[in-house]
Amino acid sequence: MDRLIVSVSGVRGIVGESFTLDVAQEYAEAFAELIDYGTVLIARDARPSGGDIVRTLIATFTELGCDVIDVDMVPTPTAVLNVKELHADGGIIVTASHNPIEYNGLKFVSNDGIFLDNKEIDRLKSMVGKSFSGRKISGKQARDTGALKRHIDRIRSISFIDPVALKERNFKIAIDCVNGSASIAYPTLLENLGCICARLFCEPDGTFPRKPEPRASNISALSNFVTAARADIGFAVDPDGDRVSVVTEEGKPLGEEYTMALASEFVLSKQKGPVVVNYSTTRAVHDVVAKFNIEVECAPVGEANVVARMKEVKAIIGGEGNGGVILPLVSHTRDAAVAMVLILQYMLESGKKIGKLASGIPSYHMEKRKVALENRDFKSVVKKLKKLRKKGKLDKNDGFRIDWDDSWLHVRPSGTEPVIRVIAEAKTKQKARLIAGEAIRLISS
Interior/surface letters 190-224, b for 16+ CB within 10 angstroms, e for the rest: bebbbbebbbbbbebebebebebbbbbebbeebbe
Q: Angle at Cα 8 formed by Cα 286 and Cα 322, nearest 5°?
A: 35
What proportion of the chain, given as a percentage, has pLDDT over 70? Answer: 100
Q: How does pLDDT run across 110-164, given as a tens digit for each residue?
A: 999 999 999 999 999 999 999 888 888 999 999 999 999 999 999 999 999 999 9
Q: How does pLDDT run across 83-111, given as a tens digit for each residue?
A: 999 999 999 999 999 999 999 999 999 99
Topology adopted by domain 166-359: Alpha-D-Glucose-1,6-Bisphosphate; Chain A, domain 3 (3.40.120)
Topology adopted by domain 365-444: TATA-Binding Protein (3.30.310)
pLDDT band at 386 (very low <50, low <70, confident <90, very high): confident
Q: How does pLDDT run across 343-369, given as a tens digit for each residue?
A: 999 999 999 999 999 999 999 999 999
Q: What is the mean pLDDT of the chain?
A: 96
Any bridge partners for residue 7, and if so which?
10
Higher pLDDT: 386 or 343? It is 343
Query: pLDDT at position 383, please?
Result: 86
- Using left for φ > 0, alpha for ψ between -120 and 50, and beta otherwise, residue 16 falls in left
* Range 64-77 average pLDDT: 98
Any bridge partners for residue 90, and if so which?
40, 110
Amino acid at 18: S
Query: pLDDT at position 35, please?
Result: 97
Question: Residues 105, 96: contact at Cβ < 8 Å?
Answer: yes
Q: How does pLDDT run across 46-70, given as a tens digit for each residue?
A: 999 999 999 999 999 999 999 999 9
Query: pLDDT at position 445, please?
Result: 83
pLDDT(417) > 90 = no
* Residue 347: other Cβ atoms inside 10 A: 22
Question: Residues 91, 165: contact at Cβ < 8 Å?
Answer: no
Task: Provide the residue ranges of all domains of the chain, joining segments of one domain with +.
Answer: 5-147, 166-359, 365-444
| The CA-based dihedral angle spanning residues 87, 92, 97, 102, taken in that order and rounded to the nearest 10 degrees | -160
* Range 297-305 average pLDDT: 93
pLDDT band at 15 (very low <50, low <70, confident <90, very high): very high
Question: Residues 348, 165: contact at Cβ < 8 Å?
Answer: yes
What CA–CA distance (Å, rounded) separates 282 from 291? 16
Q: Angle at Cα 355 formed by Cα 349 and Cα 357, nearest 5°?
A: 45
Any bridge partners for residue 173, and if so which?
197, 233
- pTM for the full model? 0.94
Fold equal for 166-359 and 365-444: no
Any bridge partners for residue 367, and if so which?
424
Query: pLDDT at position 332, please?
Result: 97
* Residue 437: other Cβ atoms inside 10 A: 14
pLDDT(415) > 90 = no
Query: pLDDT at position 1, please?
Result: 52
Residues labelled as active-site residues: 97
Nearest CA-CA partner of 44 in 32, 52, 34, 33: 52
Query: pLDDT at position 373, please?
Result: 78
Any bridge partners for residue 106, and if so which?
11, 94
* Range 251-259 average pLDDT: 96
Query: pLDDT at position 390, please?
Result: 79
* Residue 404: other Cβ atoms inside 10 A: 16
The CATH number of domain 5-147 is 3.40.50.1000: no
What CA–CA distance (Å, rounded) separates 175 from 48? 22
Query: pLDDT at position 433, please?
Result: 97
* Range 260-277 average pLDDT: 98
* Range 296-322 average pLDDT: 95
Q: Is 366 exposed, middle or buried (0-12, 13-18, 19+ CB in 10 A)?
A: buried
